[in-house]
Amino acid sequence: MAILHILQYPDERLHKVAKKIESITGATRKLISDMAETMYAAPGVGLAATQVDMHQQLIVIDVSETHDELLVLINPELIFSSGESKCEEGCLSVPGIYDKVERAEKITVRALNAKGEEFTLDAEGLLSVCIQHEMDHLQGKVFVERLSHLKQVRIRNKLKKRLRETF
Ligand code: NI
Q: Could you read off the pLDDT of 106-152 as tens digits, one per residue?
A: 999 999 999 999 999 999 999 999 999 999 999 999 999 999 999 99
Q: What pLDDT, on the 0 to 100 scale, is given for residue 110?
A: 98
Q: What is the mean pLDDT of residues 50-57?
A: 98
Residue 50, classed as helix, strand or coil, is helix
Q: What pLDDT, on the 0 to 100 scale, is given for residue 165?
A: 84
CA distances from 77 to 20, 80, 92, 138, 147 (A): 11, 9, 23, 11, 23
Output the CA 23–ligand 1 centroid distance in Å.
Answer: 25
**Domains annotated on the chain, with CATH:** 12-165 (3.90.45.10)
| Catalytic (active-site) positions | 134
Q: Per DSSP, what are the bridge partners of residue 88?
A: 100
Output the CA 5–ligand 1 centroid distance in Å.
Answer: 14
Output the CA 24–ligand 1 centroid distance in Å.
Answer: 24
Please say whether the dihedral angle defined by the alpha carbons of residues 146, 73, 129 and 44, taken in this order, is positive or negative: negative
Q: What is the mean pLDDT of residues 11-35?
A: 97
**Is the pLDDT assigned to residue 73 strictly greater than 80?**
yes
